[in-house]
Amino acid sequence: MSGLNYNHLRYFRAIAHAGSLTRAAGILNLSQSALSVQVKALETQLGHTLFDRVGRRMVLTEAGRIALDHADRAFAAGDQLLRTLAGRPGIDQQVLRVGALPTLSRNFQLNFVAPLVGRRDVELILISGTMRELLARLEAHEIDVVLSNLPVRQDSHSDLQSWRLSQQPVSLVAPPGVADADFRFPQSLADIPVLLPSHASDIRPAFDQMMERAGVVPIILAEVDDMAMLRLMARESEALTLVPPIVVTDELRDGSLIEVHRIAGLTEQFHAIIQRRRFPNPLLAALLPAAGPPAEAQLSP
């Protein structure tokens, strides 16, 4: 293979960032046909299609996303050269894009990326969104992994797979003094108000079923779909809060919250969802091995 043509790479990069031939042509002051020829030449040299056309949009393929990451680093290296010779050196970085549901514990998210936190050669991009939004971006190669408290549904047409990373207990927590030593679960919930995760959380339906079986109608002060907000409200409200203890680790440690009751049979699972790719992000290898292989029910080799 002959050396890479960096003009081709520059034109490809412009189209990828612009999202269309029309916008890139305007930015570069070139014709669309000239740009198209340059990209086809790069695709021929690399042996991979870099874009899929979706209407007027140019959507990166898996190979295109990898090529863009390398192109960004290549041109950043030129900027770094200028900074270095000017006495302002920078650091070449790899990028990992992590999507997470707002219902997911921030402490869990931090624990997941902890092996990469502080590495000056790694840039972490953390993105929040709905499951539909995040899976769409995962399949479009815009993010590398989705963190969720629900596994992805596996079917014969999907390249997505779930790794179960952890299973955490679920408790009722509260500021000291909210519940006394006579607290009984679930009967006391008829008298002591409670803050609950919304129905978007997988632990909420199971909790509701427990209440229904016991004939208890809890006094619900709030239903919250963001675990960070639920954590804040747990600290400030004179109420019980249904939450995995990992969400309020710091508060349990400093005593601003206490664990009133750990609910037997109620757990929350944490999953990492990835897409089968020919060129997986190598940074994921530092995060997934400890979890073991994906569950057989969710993944066929």
Assess whether 176 and 261 both reside in one domain. Answer: yes
> How far is residue 180 from each of residues 175, 196, 243, measured CA to CA in Å?
11, 20, 19
- The answer as to whether 284 is a domain residue is yes
Q: What is the mean pLDDT of each run of 10 residues along the chain (301 residues)?
A: 77 88 86 88 90 84 86 76 62 83 86 90 90 90 90 74 88 94 92 92 91 95 90 93 93 95 92 85 80 41 26
Asked if the structure places residue 148 within a domain, the reply is yes
Residue at a domain's end among 32, 60, 85: 85
> Does residue 286 share a domain with residue 252?
no
Assess whether 252 and 187 both reside in one domain. Answer: yes
pLDDT of residue 293: 46
Query: Would residue 121 count as lying in a domain?
Result: yes
Are residues 176 and 259 both part of a single domain?
Answer: yes
Whole-model pTM?
Answer: 0.65
> Are 26 and 68 in a shared domain?
yes
Assess whether 257 and 281 both reside in one domain: no
Residues 65 and 98 in one domain: no
Whether 17 and 142 share a structural domain = no
Residue 57, both tokens: 């949009």
Query: Which pLDDT does position 239 carry in this prediction?
Result: 95
Q: What is the CATH number of the domain that holds 101?
A: 3.40.190.10
Whether 145 and 175 map to the same domain: the answer is: no
Residue 115 lies in a domain: yes
Residue 297 lies in a domain: no
The domain in which residue 224 lies consists of: 168-267
Domain boundary among 35, 57, 85: 85
CATH number, domain of 215, equals 3.40.190.290
d(CA 19, CA 23) in angstroms, rounded, equals 7
End-to-end Cα distance, the chain: 33
pLDDT at position 144 is 92
Number of domains making up the chain: 3
Residues 63, 123, single domain; the answer is: no
At residue 1, the pLDDT reads: 45
**Within a domain: 19:** yes
Query: Do 151 and 229 lie in a common domain?
Result: no
pLDDT of residue 79: 67
Domain boundary (85, 112, 141) is at 85
Residues 187 and 263 in one domain: yes
pLDDT value of position 291: 45
* pLDDT value, residue 30: 87
Q: What is the CATH number of the domain that holds 64?
A: 1.10.10.10
Sequence-separated contacts (24+) of 245-250 with Cβ below 8 Å: 245/168, 245/169, 245/171, 245/173, 246/105, 246/107, 246/108, 246/111, 246/168, 247/105, 247/106, 247/107, 247/108, 248/173, 249/107
